[in-house]
Amino acid sequence: MQLELPPAVHAVMIDDDLVLLDADADIYFCLPLPNGLARLEGRGLHTADAMLGAELIGAGLARPASGQGPDLPALPATPTRTARAVLEDHPDLHVRFRPIHLVALIAAVRAALASRRETFGDLIASTPRRVGQGRGQAALLADLAVWRRITPWLPLDGLCLFRSRMLLAFLHALGHRPGWVFGVRTWPFRAHCWLQAGDMVLDDEAERVSAFAPILAA
């Protein structure tokens, strides 16, 4: 049976576990399956088990294949570098708080306040689109250094979702275009999110996030 994922549903295979995320409902599903029972190819899902296919369709997690799936950002490769470490290796990096940083900080605070009232689906839908390549790594690192200097004074929420959304708004206002990556792991199941530019994690450690399989990139 050939199926496809609806626009709000995202999936990843981890070994033989099929993990699905319904962004509109903000719910993850983890289905341990027999070896080879399901195969994920992009947004297409193939299964030889008609009952499994019918159950996924009935739950709104899949639909018969039409070939008209949404055009979504590609999932990133496993990161190998951490921005924190790169900045620590360049203590001579020129960092100066400029008026544009105040504008970006206001945008970040507004995004954080708005995110407390939005559903997960709305939060993803309101994420700035990644148009263009941004301003380059040197400028990105300089602006990240500014962020690291001011974050001790900000009322940051402990949840990775709100912290990364706030930094994303800050960087986007400065002309950068990082990806917002959502990943999962199983046994035990955990979900996490982080910002990534190329092979570099911006708000976490590469070693930690490499344990998560990306399921959605915004």
* Distance separating alpha carbons of residues 166 and 16, to the nearest angstrom: 35
Q: Is residue 73 part of a domain?
A: no
Asked if pLDDT for residue 132 goes beyond 80, the answer is no
For 12-46, how does the pLDDT look when each residue is reduced to its tens digit (9 = 90+)?
999 999 999 999 999 999 999 999 999 999 899 99
Q: Is residue 129 part of a domain?
A: yes
| 8 Å CB contact between 214 and 182 | yes
Q: Is residue 96 part of a domain?
A: yes
In this prediction, residues 110-129 reach a mean pLDDT of: 83
Residues 6+ apart with CB under 8 A from 186: 14, 15, 17, 19, 30
For 203-216, how does the pLDDT look when each residue is reduced to its tens digit (9 = 90+)?
999 999 999 999 99
Q: Structural domain tally of the chain?
A: 2
- Collapsing DSSP states into helix, strand and coil, what is residue 18? strand
Considering the domain architecture, whether residues 12 and 94 belong to the same structural domain is answered as no
Considering the domain architecture, whether residues 32 and 127 belong to the same structural domain is answered as no
| 8 Å CB contact between 218 and 76 | no
Identity of residue 34: P
Domain enclosing residue 11, as ranges: 2-64
Q: Is residue 101 part of a domain?
A: yes
Considering the domain architecture, whether residues 57 and 111 belong to the same structural domain is answered as no
Considering the domain architecture, whether residues 140 and 165 belong to the same structural domain is answered as yes
For 85-102, how does the pLDDT look when each residue is reduced to its tens digit (9 = 90+)?
999 988 777 678 899 999
Considering the domain architecture, whether residues 16 and 99 belong to the same structural domain is answered as no
- Give the position of tokens 């960087």: 171
* Distance separating alpha carbons of residues 1 and 186, to the nearest angstrom: 26
Residues 6+ apart with CB under 8 A from 88: none
| 8 Å CB contact between 104 and 173 | yes
